[in-house]
Amino acid sequence: QIGRIAQQLGTPAYLVGGAVRDLFLKRYAPDLDVAVEGDTRMLAEACKAQIHGAHYQFHAQFGTAILEDSQGVALDLAQCRLEHYPAPAALPEVHPGNIHADLARRDFTVNAMAIRLDPQHFGILLDPYDGQADLQAGLLRTLHSRSFLDDPTRILRGLRFATRFQMDLAPECHQQLKQALQADIFTQLSGARLWRELRYLLELEALPVALSLLTAWKLWFLLRPTPPASNTMPTLLQRGQEQIQWLSAQFPEEPLAIFIPMLTLIWQDVTLRDIQHYLDRWPVPDRSQLLADLRVLPGLPDTLLKAKRPSQKANIWQGVSVAGILAAMAIYADNPTLVDSARLYLQVQRRLPSPFNGQELQTLGLKAGPSLGKTLKLLREAQLDGEISNKENAQQWLIKQGILP
């Protein structure tokens, strides 16, 4: 219908980018991008008026609109545009353009195809760079030789596509990659843009497979000063992914940024000084906790061995983030005592409901303040060590300790 409405308005619309590629790969396309040779807002408004139940959100800053029908199927509408890069690795200058200009600004030939949506020519493929042939040959080919210099994020996008779709760079693009690296192009990219791409990489399901491409494309320096010394990294990351899956099966509602345990594992044998150098450039969330985890991880088996009481072990785990605990479970997968202790903490110990809360302790006669916090901590430890299990024996215990008269 959108093609018909676009035609009525005289603003032709095309399905573009990843959705066309995924169609040829017979893969599910999560995002449907539509390029419009004209005003997206006008088209979205006309769709809302003519399609029962349709509504849209317009983003004035980018001139884009998300159009959704009554079934919840969403289309991203964007005006066709022409891009010009004023300097290497800078954000492009953008002007309205036609579909040919819009395809010419894209990263790889396989992503530079469009399908017409107007009823007269519905389904006709625009493939000016032979993307379909490259898709069949499994080749990622840029549209011109300066592509990686214009936008180095394309190198990491390429790495992701190569991993996900088992593709390789076309021979001339290996050469372009070499030139871009010789020009130190990544130093000109902002830390925020680089981090965004790295985060997508770390979240890849096929991340363990992507590691061999990081080696082949000589890109390890983006993540660590040197490539990992042994070839155990893929196994380590795979174990990390398994632990993440275990946790989300146990606690489906628990939010976890997958990239943090993955980064922890990639950095587990890197010096803190080198790590700090990367963290200074990227806007990584919770960086001080990440550093604290990395500091604790190497000595963890020994520290836990010295801890005799369950409460002592739980206190050690409490100082580590959930992401760090998952990383520890992957690193020390062949230490069942450590893994069991981590699981016990995540499943039970960290969520034990306290027999008394602060309010209740005050009703029992304790004063508010730091000593109340201390009592709560003592109660928690006694509970972890099996000394108390309910309000009654907790009160007895407090009397025995001389905390309550």
**Residues 218 and 184: beta-carbon distance below 8 Å:** no
- Of 18 and 301, which has the nearer Cβ to ligand CTP? 18
CB of 76 to ligand CTP, least distance (A): 8
What letter does residue 84 receive in the DSSP assignment?
E
Per the DSSP assignment, residues forming a β-bridge with 55 are 68
Among 142, 153, 163, 341, binds ligand CTP (CB under 6 A): 153
**Residues 182 and 120: beta-carbon distance below 8 Å:** no
Residue 95: phi and psi, rounded to 5, are -135, 155
106 binds ligand CTP (CB under 6 A): yes
- Of 142 and 311, which has the nearer Cβ to ligand CTP? 142
Query: Residue 13: helix, strand or coil by DSSP?
Result: strand
Residue nearest to ligand CTP (CB): 18
Query: Residue 402: helix, strand or coil by DSSP?
Result: coil
CB of 397 to ligand CTP, least distance (A): 56
- Of 201 and 304, which has the nearer Cβ to ligand CTP? 201
Among 9, 18, 83, 343, binds ligand CTP (CB under 6 A): 18
The DSSP annotation for 278-341 comes to HHHHS--TTHHHHHHHHHHGGGHHHHHHH--SHHHHHHHHHTS-HHHHHHHHHHTTT-HHHHHH
The DSSP annotation for 169-181 comes to E-HHHHHHHHHHH
Q: How far apart are CA 253 and CA 138, in angstroms?
A: 38
Q: How far apart are CA 352 and CA 99, in angstroms?
A: 59
Helices (H) and strands (E) in the chain, counts: 21, 11
- Of 114 and 294, which has the nearer Cβ to ligand CTP? 114
- Of 33 and 134, which has the nearer Cβ to ligand CTP? 33
Which stretch in 36-44, 52-60, 103-111, 183-191 sits in contact with ligand CTP by CB under 6 A?
A: 103-111
What letter does residue 108 receive in the DSSP assignment?
B
- Of 157 and 313, which has the nearer Cβ to ligand CTP? 157
Number of amino acids touching ligand CTP (CB under 6 A)? 11
Among 37, 107, 127, 150, binds ligand CTP (CB under 6 A): 107
33 binds ligand CTP (CB under 6 A): yes
Among 8, 31, 203, 373, binds ligand CTP (CB under 6 A): 31
Which stretch in 104-112, 132-140, 262-270, 271-279 sits in contact with ligand CTP by CB under 6 A?
A: 104-112
- Helices assigned H by DSSP within 332-402: 336-347, 358-363, 370-384, 391-400
CB of 75 to ligand CTP, least distance (A): 13
Structure tokens at 53: 């139940």
151 binds ligand CTP (CB under 6 A): yes
Which parts of 110-129 interact with ligand CTP (CB under 6 A)? 111
- Of 143 and 265, which has the nearer Cβ to ligand CTP? 143
Counting every residue written for the chain, the total comes to 405
Work out the end-to-end distance of the chain between its first and last CA atoms, rounded to an integer number of angstroms: 78
Q: How far apart are CA 11 and CA 47, in angstroms?
A: 13
CB of 357 to ligand CTP, least distance (A): 46
Lay out the site mask for ligand CTP across 363-402 (x = CB under 6 A, - = otherwise). Answer: ----------------------------------------
154 binds ligand CTP (CB under 6 A): yes
Among 5, 12, 13, 17, binds ligand CTP (CB under 6 A): 17
Q: List interacting residues with ligand CTP (CB under 6 A).
A: 17-18, 31, 33, 106-107, 111, 151, 153-154, 157
